[in-house]
Structure formats: structure tokens, C-alpha cells
Amino acid sequence: MVNSLPQIDEFLNLGANALEADFAFDDEGYAKWTYHGYPCDCFRSCKRYERVDDYLRYVRELTSRGSPKFRSDFVLLQIDLKISGLSKEAKHNAGVDVAVKLIRHLWSGKDPKSQLWILLSFPYTTDIDFVEGFLPTLRANGYHNMQSRIGWDISGNEDLIDIKKTYQRLGISNSVWQGDGITNCLPRSIKRLVDAIYRRDFDAEWEFLKKVYYWTLDKSSSMRQALRVGVDAIITNHPDRFVSVLASDEFSKSHRLATIRDNPWQKIQQPQRYLSQYTANVDYVFYECNPEQETEQEDTDE
């Protein structure tokens, strides 16, 4: 949840190679603000925001080679689309509007194009009107080639079979991430996470699934457990802790942060040394919101 311009620099400076922004829409489906609102993760401000246009313009400055602000470590932007409360028509309009804004602010014009990978995340299988507005708009504007920079994620913890059927209906056969998780305020079993990882690696009907990630993990111990299970990525409020975990003896030879040269829609076989112990105990629970060892400082609203 990185929704203001100062937070972009803050989290990149802490070692993040990807950011998640929330796009909030008006009733007609126009993306107006990068805004989450209440409730959100514990120890975070829920009310920071920018205009979507300003946010994307700044992102282009950071992700375009030749820009004086270019940051080679900023690899991917996950856009959490807050569209579930919209009508079907507004969801379709939202897809059109986001496509237009990405074209205008990241790729068009004489300035260097952004090299950023984009992961579009919508909550539920009932939100597919967004996709049906987004993809034709890219093609109609001559940016069909930029589909290679776009990935998809259905994030609402629905049944995985229903999610697979939705991608089949949409004709999306590549560039899919699957998330599992919950706010850091609440505990969650890893049962569905392990199921998604199994399908990624061993189920031929899930060839389109390239990455599995978990949200939100803030304790170093939980980050280590998630890597042992075989996740490709995590969402955290403390990227510096994750960088330290990756540098530890256990993971320094098998894991690293992705760079702009890595393709996020390419499947990588994970070193699942511990998967058997978790499949035997799928009731293992991530519990982030407690004072164990690591203490969090509250990010107050301003």
C-alpha cells in the first residue's frame, strides 16, 4: 500500500523492487485517486493518496531510462483495482480508463517509455468487465504490444477452480499471478497458499499460473516460512526486513530480488525443501499482529 509520492521513494529506499498502489474510482468508473481508506493494515496510515495521473507521471520518471530520476531497482507496479462496488458498465469503463491512463502517462509521447512491468489485480471473478474494457482499448490505440508488460491477478481468495475458469473465459493463458493472504491484523492458514503453489508446479491445467505470492507478511520469521513453502513474492510493510532475510545464509544462494531484466510472467521452479512438512500440516498459521521480537512504528495519518 504505497499511495503517495513520498512513500514511493521511502519504500524503494528500504529495498523494495515492486510497489502496490490502490486505484479508487468514481461511480462512473474513472480512476481518480491512489487511495485505500479504512480499514487497512495495522500500524499503517490508510488515508494517504495522490491523483492517479500525478502518481503515474511520477512512476514514469522513475522507470524510464534516460530520466534523471531513473531507478533500475523499481521493477513492477501492482495496481489494486477497487472496482467491486461498481456497476458492470462502470467496471467496463474502468478498464477503458485505466488503459488510457497507462498509455498516456507511461508509454506515449516523445519522452522515454516506462520499462515497468504492470500487475493488474482485481478482487473477484465477477469483476471481469474491467478486463473486457481494458484489453480492447490497448489494441484500439495501437498498444497491443504492451500486453507483454501486463499481468493479471484475482486477489479475493476465491475458490481456485472458479479463478481458473474465469481466466479460460477471458482467454488469458499467460502472465497470471495468484495471491493469497489477509491483512497483517488477522491470522490466516497456509492451506490455500500451498494449494496454489502445488497447482503452479504440478498441475498441467494451470500452466498459465506463473507466480504465487502472499500478503501481508511483516515478521521476518513469517517471511522465511513463506520462502520455504515456495512463494515467488510477498507483500510487506517492511521491505528492509525481507532484504535481510534474502541475505541470510539460508536463502542467499537460492533466492534474490528480481531485476528489470527478469520476466515476471516466466515460471521459476522453486527450491521446495520444506513443502512436504507444510502439506502435512496445512493448518500452519501466519500471525503477524503481535509484539513478538520485532516492533512496528505506527505510520500516522497526516
- Is residue 298 assigned to a domain? no
**pLDDT, position 196:** 95
- Contact (CB, 8 A) for 34 and 23: yes
Please tell me the total number of residues recorded for the chain in this structure: 302
| pLDDT 10s digits, 198-237 | 999 999 999 999 999 998 898 998 899 999 989 999 999 9
pLDDT, averaged across the chain: 88
| 93-128 burial code (b ≥16 CB/10 A, e <16) | bbbbbbbbbbbebbbeeeeebbbbbbbbbbbbbebb
- Is residue 294 assigned to a domain? no
- Is residue 180 assigned to a domain? yes
pTM, full prediction: 0.90
Name which of 213, 185, 301 is nearest 18 in CA terms: 213
- Is residue 301 assigned to a domain? no
> By residue range, what is the domain housing residue 10?
5-287
- Is residue 126 assigned to a domain? yes
State the Rg of the chain over Cα. 19
C-alpha span between 206 and 161 (Å, rounded)? 10
| pLDDT 10s digits, 1-23 | 799 999 999 999 999 999 999 99
Query: Which amino acid makes up residue 114?
Result: S
**pLDDT, position 278:** 53
| pLDDT 10s digits, 124-178 | 999 999 999 999 999 999 999 999 999 999 998 999 999 999 999 999 999 999 9
**pLDDT, position 142:** 96
- Is residue 147 assigned to a domain? yes
Domain containing residue 117: CATH number: 3.20.20.190
What does each C-alpha distance from 109 to 45, 73, 96, 104, 106 come to in angstroms?
Answer: 35, 24, 19, 8, 9
Per-residue pLDDT band for 73 (boundaries 50, 70, 90) equals very high
Name which of 72, 244, 300 is nearest 236 in CA terms: 244
**pLDDT, position 105:** 98
Find all residues with CB under 8 Å of 277, minimum gap 6, and list them. none
Provide the domain count of the chain.
Answer: 1
